[in-house]
Amino acid sequence: MKSAIITLKTDPIVKTKAQKVAADLGFSLSAVLNGFLVEFIHKKEIHFGDRAEEPSEHLKEMIRESEEDYKNGWVSPAFDNAGDAVDWLDNPNRKYVRDFQPDVSEKN
């Protein structure tokens, strides 16, 4: 493999810390930077910092709906094996957790 040299100016402390982290993970700093460059080429994007990825509006809505379904008992019962779970999914008359819970609104 041919190689080219890239000269990079950085803070010496940053370099030392990066070398240590790379070594702790079993890589050279050169391998880490090469990996970054390859990913940069393929994805054509850069992410700096520790920010978590923001979920899409569609995903946020699906999470809200799922939380509401869970709160209202529209969830499957627990299964001991995958076969029972598949049978439950295939059953048009399946019962949800809410179907097994007593109606607390009818208490005296």
Per-residue pLDDT, 103: 62
For 17-57, the pLDDT digits (tens) are 999 999 999 999 999 999 999 999 999 988 777 767 788 89
What are the sequence ranges of the domains in the chain? 1-49, 57-103
Per-residue pLDDT, 100: 79
**pTM of the predicted structure, to 2 decimals:** 0.45
Please give the full DSSP string across the chain, using - where no structure is assigned. Answer: -----------HHHHHHHHHHHHHTT--HHHHHHHHHHHHHHH-----SSPPPPPPHHHHHHHHHHHHHHHTT-SPPP-SSHHHHHHHHH-TT---GGGGS--GGG--
